[in-house]
Amino acid sequence: MSANDNPHAAKTSEEIRLGLITGVAAYTFWGLFPLYLKLLSAVPALEILAHRVFWSVPFGAVLILMRNQWGEVLKAIRSPRVLFVLLLAALAISSNWLIYVWAVINDRILEASLGYYINPLMYVAAGVFVLGEKLRRLQVIAVGLAAIGVAVLTLGAGVFPWVSLMLAFLFTVYGYIRKTTPVGAMPGLFIETSLLAPFAAGYVLVLMNSGTAVFQAQSISMDIILMFAGPVTVIPLVMFALSTRRLTLITIGLLQYIGPTLQFILGLYYGEPFTVFHAVSFGLIWAALAIFSIDAVRANRAAAPKAV
């Protein structure tokens, strides 16, 4: 039976279209996130993180209510094991957020973008060292090119790209934990931020009592921008969750390059130094990602059932 004869084809097409729209929107949102953080360049990175965690909770609670997911939240928090695993995930993603915020407000957006370019290859490395998976030939080439790219930047520019590697490593750890934990994206994020919210609120209160907080010390507009740290954290995650249910992993894998590409462009826009060593390093990693993507598409086609 052809696709045109399938009564579900129109619905599937609509679902895919919605998945593409929400997926592109999510990664575009993440790619343009430095524009938001630049508005907070006068705020210390740890205070920004505290607000990002704290304000994600009430905004997340509203979305949980709208999506009728309180049952999943309650089920998760009744399990000590799941709660502990989500605490580990919270520590990983909050550390990732802190490094990313610090990088942006300290004019190191290019390093941050490099980290998210490396991230897919870091997943491959995790598969080898953690899960004992075997690398295909093209994957070996891709990982090798990425490693050379990092080495070129380290030796040529004289700067070890710790920001890039830590962002990639922490996000890989977070992704692995969440992938193996039976909790949805939004309920999981809500629990993670709720676990950290008391510490975030306590830290902001300490800063306010000592007179060193930016919140409620400068202007109402700055307070509003800080409070928006919640929505700008939660909204793209919800859009991402909507897209992952409607698109193949291959499509999601290709869409994920939107974010670091936009960050890369913003890094250049803000005038961050881009030497010949940066060009060679990024070129090698882009080549690695191209090879990685080609290999993923081939593997997906080989695994697909043959038409009869």
Residue 295 pLDDT: 80
Among 13-17, 57-61, 272-276, which is the least confidently predicted range? 13-17
Total-model pTM: 0.84
Integer Cα distance of 71 and 184 in angstroms? 11
Residue 3 pLDDT: 42
Among 5-19, 57-71, 75-89, 289-303, which is the least confidently predicted range? 5-19
Residue 96 pLDDT: 93
Q: Is the pLDDT of residue 251 over 90?
A: no
**Comparison of pLDDT for 233 and 124, the residue scoring more:** 233
Which residue in 250, 240, 246, 254 sits closest to 16, CA to CA? 246
Q: Is the pLDDT of residue 117 over 60?
A: yes
**89-112 pLDDT tens trace:** 999 999 999 999 999 999 999 999
Q: Is the pLDDT of residue 5 over 50?
A: no
Residue 305 pLDDT: 55
Which token pair is 178?
A: 């969440």
Residue 1 pLDDT: 38
Q: Is the pLDDT of residue 2 over 50?
A: no
Residue 35 pLDDT: 95
CA angle 98, 23, 87 (to 5 degrees): 35
Distances (CA, A) of 24 to 176, 186, 241, 251: 23, 18, 12, 11
**183-217 pLDDT tens trace:** 888 898 899 999 999 999 999 999 999 988 888 77
Residue 186 pLDDT: 86
Say which residues have a Cβ less than 8 Å from residue 58's Cβ, sequence separation at least 6: 230
Q: What is the mean pLDDT of the chain?
A: 85
Residue 9 confidence class, pLDDT cut points 50, 70, 90: very low
Helix residue spans in the chain (DSSP H): 9-31, 33-38, 45-66, 70-77, 80-105, 109-129, 137-156, 162-179, 185-210, 220-227, 229-244, 249-255, 258-269, 276-303
**130-189 pLDDT tens trace:** 767 777 888 888 888 888 888 888 887 677 888 989 998 998 888 888 878 888 888 988
Integer Cα distance of 218 and 81 in angstroms? 43
Residue 302 pLDDT: 67
**264-300 pLDDT tens trace:** 999 999 999 888 888 888 899 899 888 888 887 777 6
